[in-house]
Structure formats: C-alpha cells, structure tokens
Amino acid sequence: MDNLFSLRGSVAAFFLDWPRRSGCNSYSREVSACTTRARTPLDAHSRLCSCTNLARTSRKAAFVASIPPEASVVAPLPYLAHLAMRQKLYSLHHVLKGLKTLSRSSYEPPPPTDFVLIDYHDSATFDASAGYYHPTMKMVDGRIVPSSDRLLHDFLQRCSWVSDSCNELTLLRQGERAPTPQTPSSGIVFEVGNHTQLLSISKSGNVLSKEQSLEIQMNWKFQDERDVFPWMLLRLTPHGYGGAVLTKGLCAPEAGAGPFRENWHIAAPKGLAAGDYSLEAIFIDNSRQAWSEAVDPGNQRSTLLSHPVPVGNVRVLAPAN
C-alpha cells in the first residue's frame, strides 16, 4: 500500500493498540521487526511537493528529476541506475557503512556533493544484515566505527543544506538555510543524553486529503557531540480500531549545534480510510534497533527514546469524485 508503513505480524498490532499496552521495553522489542526500513517526506512549498497528488513511484521520479544532470549526488542503491549519466555519483550505503567494500579499511567519503537523496523505505541501502546500516561497532583490531547515523551526520556537517522531504523521501541540496527563528519554549518534550532536546512539535492544520498535505514542524536544540540520532515514526490512530504508521526517518541529521527547526510534509497514504485520527510521534534509536533485529535478536535492550508524543488530531477526507 502506497506510503503506508508495512508492519509485520505483532508489530502492527502493537503500534495500533498502544492504549491497551504498557512498558517501553516491550514496545521497543516489538517495533524491532519493522524499523529497519524507515523513511521521510517533502516540502509542500517547493515544486517537489505537488506530492499530495503523486503516488510513491511518481514522487520518487519527481525527486530524481529535480536533480540537475551536471550535479554531484549521493543516492541510495536502487536510484543509482536512474542517476548514472553523471560524473560524480556516489552510493549512500558506502557513507552509512563507513568501510570499503569487502574490506575492513575505512571508507573516505567524497567532498560534499550538490545533492543527497535519501529514501528511508529503501531496505537495500538501510540493510543491517549486509552490514551497511549499523550502530557503533568495535572492529577486531580495536578500531571504533561510528554508527551509520553518525557517519551520515559527519558527512553532512561539512556544509549547509536545504531539505525537501515528503513521506519516505528526503532531498538535501547544498545551500544556506534560513536562520532558525527564536521561539518561546514551554519546556522540553524529551531529551536524549545531554546533546539532543526536542523543544516543540506541531502540525500545520487539521485536515489531510489527496489534495491537502500536512506539515509537521519540530524545534530542536543540539549540542556538539551527538551519539544518538532520533528516528521518527508517526502513528495515525482512528477513533475506533486500525490506523497506519508513517516513517519519517532520521531527525535533522544535517543539523549542527544550536537551535534547529525541521519541517516534514506528509501526504495522505493511499488506502487510509476517511475519518478522524489522533497523531503520535514515536522516536527510537533505529541503528541499534535494526542491528538487533537482523544480527543480534537476543539483545532485548530498549531502543525507545521517549514515550509516544501526542501531535493532536486530524481528519482524513475521502478523495473527491
């Protein structure tokens, strides 16, 4: 189903039945089967975010088409063939892995490219079983390889990026971001260690339809050394039973120290029934979650970074005839 996050077995039941369950550790164990493939959305104010009327395949094509032929690009594995007619094309899985192919030698990433394309539903690139996507690792020779999330962050830190995102897709383009405006804070929604604080989360409206997207806005505050990078899922629970889970993916991997405003657009998933829904944001450490599921299933440590964060209610409208 287009843009619906496909949950396996008891995981789906857990997400959609949270009020009748309790315990962060239990939640983290059950979500482990699905979070390896998380992904993101696109900016409704750019020409890309005609995303409200585009199916997933069309959105992917629109993202690829927006990259100029002469531009250098880092892209996921399934997209390389579509971007092949250019001189400087690099695979995202090398950046995430941090090692050369079939080698224990460190991978030296290229200089910052003009664009970075990420599809958080791309299980080939975000593949823990192949070793591409991993938490912090210690090599047999004692070297420490940072987590894939940290390796992506370090790659992006070398310049400024403008982000367009819609559902599972994110396109980062080199450019100067507008300064993050100062906003009064009513406290901290949740905190990760002493380096990451979510100060607020809100949505742009109360209606979601084929013709009308929603923007989720988050205000963050980061310190210099981030070792855990929140991965976000958005659960839509109807005032009844059922629902859906959308994947945003990594939160602000391009952000440096200081305040940072992040905007994520969501288009109505195909197959989502009309009705009233409550929204909850769920944040996990996905590199550990994916590795635990694929490589170390006996590891039962929680990867949940906070309890579900309410984001209000939304009315999903049926497509116009």
pTM as predicted: 0.81
Domain positions in the chain are 10-316
* Stretch among 78-82, 155-159, 239-243, 308-312 having the lowest mean pLDDT: 239-243
Among 279, 287, 285, 281, which residue's Cα sits nearest to residue 307? Answer: 281
Half-sphere exposure of 27 (CA within 13 A, CB side): 20
270 pLDDT higher than 90: no
Nearest-angstrom CA–CA distance, 210 and 321 = 11
Q: How many residues are listed for the chain in this entry?
A: 321
What pLDDT score does 116 carry? 97
Residue 114 DSSP one-character state: S
Beta strands in 223-274 (DSSP E): 231-238, 244-250, 258-266
28 pLDDT higher than 70: no
* Cross-strand partners of 282: 233
**Geometric angle at alpha carbon 296, from 18 and 228, rounded to 5°:** 65
Residue 240 DSSP one-character state: S
2 pLDDT higher than 50: no
pLDDT in tens, 172-227: 999 988 777 777 667 898 999 889 999 999 999 999 988 888 999 999 999 878 88
268 pLDDT higher than 90: no
pLDDT in tens, 75-121: 999 999 999 888 899 999 999 999 887 778 889 999 999 999 999 99
Residue 30: band (very low, low, confident or very high) from pLDDT cuts 50, 70, 90:
very low
What pLDDT score does 34 carry? 33
Nearest-angstrom CA–CA distance, 160 and 176 = 6
Among 161, 166, 132, 170, which residue's Cα sits nearest to residue 149? Answer: 132
- Element containing residue 221 per DSSP (H, E): strand 214-222
Q: Longest C-alpha distance within the chain, in Å?
A: 63
What pLDDT score does 214 carry? 93
pLDDT in tens, 60-76: 888 899 999 999 999 99
Core vs surface per residue 238-247: b (16+ CB within 10 A) or e:
beeeebbbbb
Instruction: Report helix, strand and coil shares of the chain as percent, to nearest 5.
Output: 20, 30, 50
Half-sphere exposure of 43 (CA within 13 A, CB side): 13
Core vs surface per residue 139-173: b (16+ CB within 10 A) or e:
eeeeeebbbbbbbbbebbeeeebebbbbbbbbbbb
What pLDDT score does 51 carry? 53
DSSP letters for 30-99: HHTTTGGG------TTSGGG-GGG--HHHHHHHHHHTS-TTS-EEE-GGGGGGG-SSS-EEEHHHHHH-B
Instruction: Average the pLDDT over 287-293 and give the result.
Output: 90
